Structure 1
Amino acid sequence: MILSSILILFSLFSLVFPKRINLYVKSINDGSTDPIGFIDNDSIHLMEIEPQHSVCIGTKDIYNNECFSYQNYIPSFNYSIFNLFLDEDNDVFRIALSFDDTLQKPTIRKHKHITAPQPNLNPDSLKKQREQQAKQNNNGGNQQTEKVIRKKTIVEIDSDGNEITKEIDEVIETVDDRSWIQKNWMYIVPPLLILFAMGGGEERK
């Protein structure tokens, strides 16, 4: 009971006080780091910095984002866009930095992560899938499609407004849903008749 109450309070606390992402700038030359601000839910708070050369912008609060953007020269963050990529639980798993000269202050943009289907790079499995699909199309449900060509008369109107009668070939796909016995009775009935006839002659003798 106490443990469940603590978990509920912790979840409410995390909703009211979302996780803060602390940001820093790291010099490539000497490896020194300086805090530059933090991201708090939908707001970002950055400090004014002096123009720096060859720096990394990163955070230790998100795994593998210790240097999510390398900048050769960054005079200010006024035109910066911090792109936050969210996973299925709406947690930030990656950050990317871009710039837009039309902005007047740092901006946050959130992007929902969409998992794309993985390509099948195994040619053998692709071949098997195609063979199974072709087999299902040919034999699935004991139904076979046959193409029948029949004549069809249509009436068209030419550019002068006259009606012209034409005869065209129309291709129709028909589904043969007969059972196996219905399709192959001609191979079964004659041997049975011969057997019955031979058996009947021996009884009369």
Structure 2
Amino acid sequence: MRTPTSILASFLLLGCVAVGNIHAAEAGGNKVTYTRLADDVKGFEKLGVVHGKAQKAFGNQEKLREKAIAEAQAEAAKLGATTILITVDQFAPTPLNNVTVEAVAYGPGKGSTAVAKEEKPEEKKEAVTPTDPAKIETTRLADDVKGKTKLGIVHGKAMKSFGNQDKLREKAIAEAKAEAAKLGATMILITLDNFENTPLNNVAIEAIAFK
């Protein structure tokens, strides 16, 4: 007959195994890059649609989004994908704060070599000269960054109880610019700008840094 202690021990062991599997899946998924720009997957082979979700009571939308994307990346990795194109990114506070992500998984295809190289600027191993965040331009138009070099994805967030969303957005963009400046960027292309009021007014920004 199993004692309460042995039952608890078995439960904890199963929990540890489950957590380990989750981390392993995330580790594999994180090798898959993600983008919100269709031009980035031109020439790639479409492998299928993947999904990710995350929820938590009063959860921070940026952290939930990060976890949901990681789940989609892990699913894409099983298909042999190298990148995912996010097509749906939805935050909702019902009944728990949650983010749902849907993306298309892509693998290297005919004509994708040039794009693949562009996706990995870190391999160039060039010395980075930080720029002045105040001089970094902001755009929401993809045409404005044509011909520029992609440096990476940056984020910004700001929250305050009853905070004015314009002020919060300004602060979040400034945070993204500060992150981009460390990469030597001269411009950021905002690809996500989301305002929510759960439980505090907050703005989450995601952008691509270019020079």
TM-score using structure 1 length: 0.20
TM-score using structure 2 length: 0.20
Q: Choose between structure 1 and 2 for higher RCO, CA contacts under 8 A separated by at least 6 residues.
A: 2
Q: Is the helix fraction higher in 1 or 2?
A: 2
Q: Is the strand fraction higher in 1 or 2?
A: 1
